[in-house]
């Protein structure tokens, strides 16, 4: 495949009521692979946010009463357009995020489109149906699932178009309208998606885009006419967003971060376990909220695990992001690279963890055709880590694996119980995984793990059918699956009495006449 250039993209306006909407204030989005500007982005102000919400309010009565079958047809046309333009959209995502084209073309666009297709088909096959119950011969109870109104979607920078589709697909399928704000670090996908929706037949105002940083998100979250806020991002920001939404009694879905455990049991195949741990730490350069960054390895396997891991580390291939063999890119921004390198330095100099691979140093040591002006860091492995180290307790969100040995010399019931206790020793609970040949044991351990997304003998796959959401500080509600559609509706229950009279305590008492 030829390596396309990195053209500077056109100025990116907002998208309101089915049209491009420009503002005077702009910011730049930067190509993280080379630290060069990609495009000027119009920044929303309060007037633009108000206009976007008003456009949604105007479109809502018609869109919410459009039949699910017709909404499905429109959304499936958007699916077809997304699939036709996968490579073009993937190139934009690669420019904006720094992720290899081999990833954006096979994961980001594809999985987002799969979700839109899933919900379009779900609503066409009764996914929005309520329930009917006969209470007694002359009384019935029925429920309906009703659209919420105009909703806000606030995206993250690590999977831009996938997250935009994970939010907008069930939102629009359920009959709602959306005002979507992408991350200011990766904004280029939003206009593309909005115009695809319009081309597919989504009415003006049903999907609107406002751009900007956290202040624009705050305008949406606090807007009195927003019915729901769906946010993906870090825990600290999510808490603020949820608090602001709660003040207006808005519905919320929060998909936040974690410090997820990856448990390797003594009977696991070493190479399989290493492959799983690498996917759980280095895919997307470690910028995945569900990453299993705490890798628990039995002492009986530790040497073999480390040896196999070191042998496979060269399979992490940085380079030209459009080269199909490249599978590792830079971090998304300069500020994020500084954050990740600060954690790596702390692991070496303060935590005193053993550096097994990677670390600090000149990025040219990565090899491959990389621009040293980009935000590159080495994939890093620490071993002999303990539960109290900063690198094992705080979310790094970069390609940093921490190996935590555990003693497996005793009875399995004893060390698995201690292992679960250590795995759960975190305020977050987003994801977890177990590698073992003993499936019965895996099921029993997964049942005791405090996390909302779990895997057995694999890591990271989140198909559209699978509800995903965190426990504890990792979030509220779920995305995807049938449960994900319910997050965008409100229930109405109706009791119908057909007996022709109303039972009442307010009836005339019959009194005996006095002589």
Catalytic residues: 167, 255, 289, 479
Phi-psi region at 303: left, alpha or beta (left = phi > 0; alpha = psi -120 to 50): alpha
Q: How far apart are CA 96 and CA 479, in angstroms?
A: 24
- In this structure, are strands 177-181 and 150-154 parallel, antiparallel, or unpaired? parallel
Contact (Cβ atoms closer than 8 angstroms) between residue 380 and residue 355: yes
Strand, coil or helix: 334: helix
Q: How far apart are CA 381 and CA 403, in angstroms?
A: 8
Question: In whole angstroms, how far apart are CA 433 and each of 90, 329, 452, 457?
Answer: 29, 25, 11, 7
Contact (Cβ atoms closer than 8 angstroms) between residue 244 and residue 221: yes
Rg, Å, the chain Cα set:
26
Contact (Cβ atoms closer than 8 angstroms) between residue 391 and residue 400: yes
User: E strands along 250-345, which residues?
Assistant: 251-255, 261-264, 294-298
Q: How far apart are CA 454 and CA 438, in angstroms?
A: 16
- Tokens in use for 33? 């692979």
- Tokens in use for 451? 């996390």
- Tokens in use for 483? 């449960």
Phi-psi region at 359: left, alpha or beta (left = phi > 0; alpha = psi -120 to 50): left
CA-based nearest residue to 419, from 310, 211, 265: 265
In sequence order, which residues have a C-beta less than 8 Å from that of residue 215 and are 6 or more positions away? none
- Tokens in use for 414? 């004893």
CA-based nearest residue to 397, from 281, 232, 265: 281
On the 0-12 / 13-18 / 19+ scale of CB atoms within 10 A, 57 is middle
Question: In whole angstroms, how far apart are CA 275 and each of 153, 270, 297, 461?
Answer: 34, 9, 13, 14
Count of beta carbons in the 10 Å neighbourhood of residue 404: 23
């Amino acid at each position: 495949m030829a390596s396309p250039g990195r053209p500077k993209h056109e100025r990116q306006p907002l998208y309101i009521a089915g049209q491009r909407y420009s503002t005077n204030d702009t910011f730049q989005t930067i190509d993280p692979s080379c630290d060069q500007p990609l495009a000027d982005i119009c920044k929303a102000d309060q007037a633009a946010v108000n206009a976007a919400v008003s456009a949604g309010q105007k479109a809502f009565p018609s869109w919410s009463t459009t039949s699910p079958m017709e909404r499905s047809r429109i959304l499936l046309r958007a699916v077809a357009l997304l699939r036709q333009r996968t490579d073009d959209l993937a190139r934009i995502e690669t420019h904006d995020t720094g992720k290899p084209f081999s990833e954006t073309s096979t994961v980001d666009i594809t999985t987002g489109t799969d979700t839109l297709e899933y919900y379009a088909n779900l609503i066409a096959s009764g996914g929005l149906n309520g329930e009917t119950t006969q209470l007694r011969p002359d009384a019935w109870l029925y429920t309906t699932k009703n659209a919420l109104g105009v909703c806000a979607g606030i995206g993250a920078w690590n999977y831009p178009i996938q997250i935009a589709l994970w939010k907008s697909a069930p939102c629009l399928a359920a009959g709602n309208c959306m005002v979507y704000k992408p991350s200011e670090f990766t904004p280029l996908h939003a206009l593309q998606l909005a115009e695809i929706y319009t081309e597919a037949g989504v009415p003006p105002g049903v999907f609107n885009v406002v751009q900007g940083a956290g202040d624009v998100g705050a305008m949406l979250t606090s807007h009195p006419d927003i019915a729901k806020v769906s946010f993906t991002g870090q825990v600290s920001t999510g808490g603020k967003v949820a608090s602001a939404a709660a003040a207006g009694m808005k519905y919320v879905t929060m998909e936040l971060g974690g410090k997820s455990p990856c448990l390797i049991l003594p009977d696991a195949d070493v190479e399989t376990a290493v492959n799983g741990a690498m996917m759980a730490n280095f895919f997307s350069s470690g910028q995945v909220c569900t990453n299993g960054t705490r890798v628990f390895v039995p002492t009986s396997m530790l040497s073999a695990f480390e040896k196999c891991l070191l042998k496979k580390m060269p399979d992490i291939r940085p380079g030209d992001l459009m080269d199909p063999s490249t599978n590792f890119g830079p971090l998304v921004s300069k500020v994020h690279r500084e954050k990740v390198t600060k954690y790596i330095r702390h692991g070496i100099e303060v935590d005193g963890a053993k550096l097994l691979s990677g670390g600090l140093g000149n990025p040219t040591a990565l090899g491959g055709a990389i621009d040293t002006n980009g935000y590159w860091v080495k994939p890093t492995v620490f071993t002999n880590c303990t539960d109290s180290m900063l690198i094992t307790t705080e979310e790094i969100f970069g390609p940093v694996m921490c190996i935590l040995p555990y003693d497996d010399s005793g009875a399995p019931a004893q060390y698995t119980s201690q292992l679960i206790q250590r795995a759960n020793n975190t305020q977050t609970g987003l994801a977890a995984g177990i590698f073992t040949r003993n499936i019965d044991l895996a099921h029993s351990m997964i049942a005791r793990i405090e996390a909302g997304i779990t895997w057995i003998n694999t890591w990271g796959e989140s198909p559209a059918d699978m509800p995903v959401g965190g426990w504890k500080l990792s979030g509220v509600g779920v995305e995807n699956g049938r449960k994900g559609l319910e997050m965008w509706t409100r229930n109405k229950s109706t009791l119908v009495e057909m007996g022709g009279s109303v039972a009442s305590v307010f009836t005339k008492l019959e009194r005996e006449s006095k002589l």
